[in-house]
Structure 1
Amino acid sequence: MATVKPFKAIRPTKDKAFYVASRSYEEYSKDELQAVLKYNPFSFLHIINPGFKFEKHITGQERFHLVRNRYLEFLEENIFQKDDAPSFYLYQIVKEDFKSLGFFCACSVEDYRNDVIKKHEDTLQEREELFADYLDTVGFNAEPVLMTYADNDEVNAIFQRKIKRVPEYDFTTVDRVNHKLWKISYPEGIEKLEKAFAQMDALYIADGHHRSASSDLLAKHLEKENSSHNGQEPYNYFMAYLIPESQMRIYEFNRMVKDLNGFSKKEFLIQLDEYFMIEKETSGLCRPTKKHEFCMYLKDEFYKLHLRKTNYQFTDALSELDTQILFKTILEPILGIKDLRNDKRISYGYGKHNLIKMKEDVDKGKFEVGFSLVPTTVEEIKAIADAGLVMPPKSTYIEPKLRSGLAIYEL
């Protein structure tokens, strides 16, 4: 039984939504970030980069307090408004080759604790505590956790009726992505959505494991401090964006390694022969076409690696995952990479053009070898989450990527 709850969003006024909405901070180059901050006073980036106002790089608690101040300024200057009634917020993203239609809602930390909200990645305690402290100080949640659910006809019918109406927002950003947002605030629609999700056994985190873990940690802290805690306080929920499985797109992360751990090219290929049938690819760029098949670029040549299933044992859902197979057969035993998060010898790349970049980087000598994989599937994510297992880092790059600042949840 999954809980979804409407909330009174803080969001930009209709005339400023285009200017407020921003991509994730990490997606901006240094020059692009400075240009947006200099020429767009309404960008949400001003809130999360409060040091720009003072021409100073600010970190820690000082930054957290200034983020809070910039947020309050946006409210005082009527860049942001608070809705009068609790609502769900239907948000559609359309670009050239992809469309998603999901909704912002509040999800329960209790569901997270009880494994109704299922995860497939480990989190780092230090990052959990840092973000929990951030949320406690700034008092709002602007980065929703991306979650997915099994396609549901009743939910889809509600959405399809709603998108026939005039949206609250309708704008296209400079990257040619169209954004539309509708409010679902009428009691019948809210009740139908709540009941539909109450009949679902689980929701699955696609992106935002640290954000959900931090919200849970903050809720535990605030509960201890609140002698009149009743379970309905805003801190018992966190903002999420929910989309059906069919509208989530998953890309692969390729792996690039800086050296062969002391092996020559011939010695390395001999080591690979233990677990793989090796086929030299002569037709140009090599892309894997199925599970348990890998493409490797090594010193000017592409190879296809076909897993020898007689030598590798499948024991659970994790052992069947290609990123885990690559780790257990090559990266760890041959190349000596044991810590996929922190080892500086390995890098990751994603996107439909990354195979070309991977080849170029190996040719330039930045890396000795690169591996290309097929994307992880939704079914694999769910199987691993259902089994309580954890994927290797950088197993998935998931879309949609949401704009920040369109809906904010106050704690």
Structure 2
Amino acid sequence: MNLKINIPKNVKIILDKLMNNGYEAYIVGGCVRDSVLGKSPKDWDITTKAKPEEVINLFDNVILTGIKHGTVTVMIDKEGYEVTTYRIDGEYEDGRHPKKVEFVSDLREDLARRDFTINAMAYNPKNGLVDYFNGIDDLNKKIIKTVGEPKKRFCEDALRMLRAVRFSAQLKFSISNDVLLSIKELKSNINKVSKERIREEFNKILISNAEKIEILKETGLLQFIIPEFVKTYGFEQNNPYHIYNLYEHSLIATKEIDNELHLKLTMLLHDLGKLYTKTTDKNNISHFYKHAIESSNIAEKILKDLKYDNATIKQVVTLIKYHDCTLNTKLSVKKMLNRIGKDLFEDLIKVKRADILAQNPIYKKDRLLNLVKAKNELEKILEKNECFNLKDLRVNGKDLIEIGFSKGKEIGEVLSYLLNIVIENPELNNKQKLLIIVKNRFLNVN
């Protein structure tokens, strides 16, 4: 194929130096795939016939990142470029990593060990594109296929099953039937993969195309990532406000929310508490009282199990806890602002909107209008700098000490009392007025 890839200057320096010293060298994998697709590669990986020690001898600044597996990192202008010797992998004992690798002199052998055909292409300016496994054809057909037998590839490294779904999400490609069947058969092998690696692939699927969660469900992978989700399949909500079962509702809501990880996770997990709070009245209508609190507890457990960072967990758990709250008055808006702050409040509006869009459309208009009113109230509160937290209260602990209070718990209680007054009566957020209230209420000064 007559293809020209625009290789960055530093990558070309490495290729040229290797080739001028008699060693084959190519860019390989994702950078070739992305270049063919017209995307800008994030990383430029190089594969070469040169042994690691030969690469080390050729370059001034080399980091021994994975020399055991034939990889070193060549540093140029403070940027690192991975250079890996042609290799074949030995036996995969743990379903993730080869026990050993063997260096080889044939590029085809190196490309044959890779996961998917679209990632098994190499290129250099001298020889052009090397595509032994029809990667270009599969790129044109927009399909994910493995290099060789899918079962063999997935038994070698179970993470590849998730990577297949991730590439499908990122590239908007389909997955070949034999790959899907092999994932179904080997799905439990995903337990051999660390939670951290599963989490990272899962995040990319969520952000790239949440609809691909359907593939995780159909192949059975989802039950090993979030076991609680299995119970949502076919879980009917039996309520006029809902026309979808719990799984469908959660997936639609996840698709509708903004493309930020903590928001995607919130919508995916926001209603899991319904599984354990369902009651049905005499009219055969189901209710899910306090499901938001139950959902937040379940979400926290799931996110901790998948090793999410504390900041993300806190955001998601807070949004789920309040996703079902009522925001129909200025006072309710200010009280929620006091609980969660401006940024999370703005996220909460997005969460409630996505939730509404995944419910019965008959009730959509009025509910969305209520959200618009809540957002308008927020803007007015911010525009007028109305107080909704202790930071903006015109009286502080030091002021209370000056009029006779002792340090400690009592000061916190008095400030909290004043804040509640000011939230309801913004015109009272004045130091003199507040101190008069304190003196009359707590110090009996007339």
TM-score (norm 2): 0.20
- Which structure dedicates a bigger proportion of its chain to strand? 1
Instruction: With the length of structure 1 as denominator, give the TM-score of the two structures.
Output: 0.22
**Greater Rg over alpha carbons, structure:** 2
